Structure 1
Amino acid sequence: MKINRLLAIVVMLLNRDKISAVELSEKFEVSIRTIYRDIDAINMAGIPIASKQGNNGGFYILENYKINHQFLTLEDMISIVEALKNINGVLNNKNVEIAMEKMKNIIPSNKKSEVDLHFKQVFIDTLPWGFKKSENENIKYKVIYKALKENKCISFNYRNSRGEYILREVEPVTLVFKGFSWYIFSFCLLKEDYRIFKLTRMDGLEILNRQVSKERISYGEYISSESTEKSPVKLLLKFSEEVRYRIQDYFHEEEMTFLEDGSVIVNTEVIEDGWVYSMVLSYGEYVEVLAPKHIREIIRKKCKKIIDMYK
């Protein structure tokens, strides 16, 4: 709908210094002429949008314009507060707490009981059952976050898969929260390449008196390049009925075929690495790798090592 597009354009302009007509047309999949008509409509609604020509040009909202809180609906406010609350469950950041309080303050007083009821009905916890937040990990997060803000390098001893500690000096780029843990995507000066380090494997973390040398690629660009370099592997698994409830939580329905004996065949695609082997082994005797043969053989050898360890 046009009204949704107009509101989205206003929000984008509020969040950015400038944005071009070409970028807006690509974002909303409409013509540049349509974007110019949208800008005219927004101006007529009382929101002053100006434009600047040239290579660094684009549309922008005049600096002296202050948007009224009535621009946001109650549902918008609840969504923003809920998003901030869930983010802070991971970050534990005072600035996020302050932002939450600011949002709560603009909620009409006669609607606050409705908002309180919503947060009693909906709660999001990013950690799995039985897991607790690591205070040590939180301390490391704050140190790295400070280094990012100051554009400084960091050093730490990093424990690899063999349990060895190696001193690393890196240029931090992005803090990443994935799979219940924090990671730092950075440019490693030792390897002269991009690496992702898990905070729980770090020891002796320090901020160095050394500035990051230049702007690095983003985490999103790195992940995209990694995914194109590695081809996914087709994985065929047979699960016993005993773990059917678990795989229905994890795999997509279209990947599963349910057999008469209660077992389930899962046909999926994965990027092959150590995580895949760990995932398969976590199901113990309730899963069999049917294909490909080389992964079946890897799992067989790992199972043999486990048996030998318990002899």
Structure 2
Amino acid sequence: MRASRLLSVLLLLQNRGRMTADELAGELEVSVRTVYRDIEALSAAGVPVYADRGRTGGYQLVDGYRTRLTGLTEEEARSLSLAGLPAAASELGLGTVLAAAQLKLYAALPADLRDRAASVSQRFYLDVPGWHRGIESLPQLAEVAEAVWQTRRLRIEYRRWGNQEVTREIEPLGLILKGGSWYLAARCEGNDRTYRISRIEGMETLGEFRRPLDFDLAEYWRAWSEQFERRLYSRRAVVRLSPLAQTLVPFYLGAVGARALREASAVPDEAGWVQLELPVEQGRPAIGELLRFGAGLQVLEPADLREEVAEAIREMGAHYG
């Protein structure tokens, strides 16, 4: 543990130049006294680190000194794919590992490229979850991720839609972060399936399995998402949308609605309204989705959906007299 911290001190000084004991302590989440001891240990090991006294002082390496102890561990290499998702890396138990890997990468870069990389990190930040939801906090996620890494089967207690609890023995193949929610792609009884991590009530790690060589996680998720979308939005509604409602479609109906609006070839009327076909869910969810647009949306077809929306409006009107 201390050897890893000493390397981190060395790489921080190499990457950033002069740093105070307080700054080093903050980066490493240790006490200032521990930093003093670590600096003494580095000096005793022959590392040319020296201290500048005074208010603007701090520790730094002799000009031109560069360590070559930058080899990545297996865990650090794994974490690099999550370099733009620090919260996701933390959920997977790779937060500190990712920080160490990034330090080693910066140390291995020439000075000009290191400066450019630092400049990019200060100008671009990837924040995946939407405003109304963050990434799910899941205590079991790290254990599931470890089973994926180690290609070990899992026996899970899973709560299906409708609160039906089932037991499944699965072969975990990959994790997906979608809109702040974590999903597991796994093989069960010869079929590839998707499980939402938050619905796993319990698990037991079993023996290893042979990962299928032809499994492509990105392709699987693309195909599964398309099938899920078709099942979820199995109903079609012909509607009229006001200019304001058209701008709200991507926010209220997501990518599905935005695509339908983009592909529509309807010409706006004099007031700017357009007529198009929207995919909607079955039952009550469709009513709620359409009512979000208020007076900016009018359902034309099918007749039963138009009547359901009208009935919901009448019931709402009764509440307000």
TM-score for the superposition, normalised by structure 1: 0.53
Match of 2:271 in 1: 261
For 1:298 and 1:100, how far apart are their aligned partners in 2?
Answer: 58
Cα offset, 1:233, TM superposition:
7.6
Q: Deviations over 1:117-176 (max 9, x none)?
A: 4333322210111323332x2x32211111122222212222222123222222212211
Give 2:89's aligned residue: 91
- Report the CA distance shift for 1:235/1:164 in structure 2 as closer, same or farther (over 3 A): same
Report what 1:168 is aligned to: 168
**Counterparts in 2 of 1:282 and 1:234: CA distance versus 1, 3 Å:** closer
**Identity among equivalent pairs (%):** 15
Cross-structure match for 1:120: 122
Q: How big is each residue's C-alpha offset from its partner over 1:66-100, in whole Å with a ceiling of 9 and x where there is no partner?
A: xxxxxxxxxxxxxxxx9753244433324443432
In structure 1, the gaps of 5 or more residues are 1-81
Cα distance change of structure 1 residues 158 and 282 upon mapping to structure 2, 3 Å threshold: farther
Cα RMSD for the two superposed structures: 4.5
Q: How does 1:125-274 map to 2 (within 5 A)?
A: 125-135=127-137, 137=138, 139-189=139-189, 193-204=191-202, 206-212=203-209, 215=212, 217-219=215-217, 220-221=219-220, 223-224=222-223, 236-247=238-249, 250=254, 251-252=258-259, 254-256=262-264, 257=266, 258-267=268-277
Conserved? CA contact 1:281–1:299, under 8 Å: no
> Contact 1:157/1:166 (CA < 8 Å) preserved in 2?
yes
**Separation in structure 1 between the aligned mates of residue 148 and residue 303 of structure 2, nearest angstrom:** 42
1:155 corresponds to which letter in structure 2? R
CA distance in 2, matches of 1:271, 1:188: 31
Question: Size of the alignment, in residue pairs?
Answer: 221
> Aligned equivalents of 2:122 and 2:114: distance in 1?
13
Bigger-Rg structure (1/2): 2
Equivalent position SS for 1:86: coil
Note if contact 1:84-1:100 (Cα within 8 Å) is conserved in structure 2: no
CA shift digits 1:168-202 (9 cap, x unpaired): 2222122112232110111234xx63321111122
Greater shift, 226-235 or 165-174, is seen at 226-235
Unaligned runs of 5+ in 2: 1-79
